[in-house]
Amino acid sequence: MGAVLEYWPSLAHGLWVTGSVAFCIILGAALGALILGPLRLSKRSVIRVSSILLIEFIRGPSALVLLFWVFYVLPLIRGMPQLSPLAASILVLSLDGAVYGAEIVRAGIQAVHRGQTDACHALGLSRIQSLTKVVLPQALSQIVPGFGSLARDMIKWTSIVSFVGVQDVLYVANNIRNQTFESATVFCLVAAVYWMLCLLCAAAFRALEGVLPLNRALRAARVSVQVAPDATALAGAAQ
């Protein structure tokens, strides 16, 4: 154990890289899902079918195959850029998370009662205004818990970035294992790192759930329902 701990600066750097990649891909996946999800429900068949094909095209192969394709094969095509290992990793994992998150967003939007959309149309709101100001704020109470579960999986997806040379915590751990031959200790530390990151992610999404407008309104309604019987009982006792 002592031999492994001598490499703690390298482990700290690997942890920073893993955490940074995880944050970037979760944010990128969230933005992509908020775009692809509504497109998946578009009334225009061309947009709807195109978004479905894109989602299935990215979701079909494994993330590792897509990463290898973008990093090694894409530069062989004339006019295509040679991405750095970090940029390729963030791009691929963000896209992969976005297509899975798009289905979560789609389900959340469909969970909102159709009457909300009809009321928006009756008030003269456009489709974009109806989505952004009425439907989506209500759908977030359904979307955020599901996306939180996906985000924890995405943290574990970051382990594949070491295959293209990104010096994340797994990359550093393998180097330490080769030098110290402490395989069990090293991989126990790696498991603890991923466990800690997943716990932090879960706590962040629980906090986010607590500040959503619909959830706050529901909590306020429950409190008022609980307070009303108590007030009635006090008034009866006073009489």
Residue 158 confidence (pLDDT): 92
Q: In angstroms, rounded to a whole number, what is the distance separating the alpha carbons of residues 23 and 25? A: 6
Tokens 């967003």 sit on residue: 105
Res 223 pLDDT > 70: no
For 73, other C-beta atoms within 10 Å of its C-beta total 10
CATH tag for 2-238 (out of 1.10.3720.10, 1.10.3210.10, 1.20.1440.230, 1.10.10.10): 1.10.3720.10
Q: In angstroms, rounded to a whole number, what is the distance separating the alpha carbons of residues 205 and 100? A: 17
Domain boundaries, the chain: 2-238
Q: Which tokens is 194 given? A: 């991923």
The CA-atom distances, in angstroms, between 209 and each of 31, 79, 83, 103, 137 are 17, 44, 36, 19, 12
Residue 236 confidence (pLDDT): 56
Q: Which tokens is 61 given? A: 């192969």
pTM of the model: 0.85
Average pLDDT score over residue span 218-234: 58
Residue 160 confidence (pLDDT): 92
Q: Model confidence over 100-149: pLDDT tens digits?
A: 999 999 988 888 887 777 787 787 777 788 877 878 888 888 888 889 99
Residue 218 confidence (pLDDT): 60
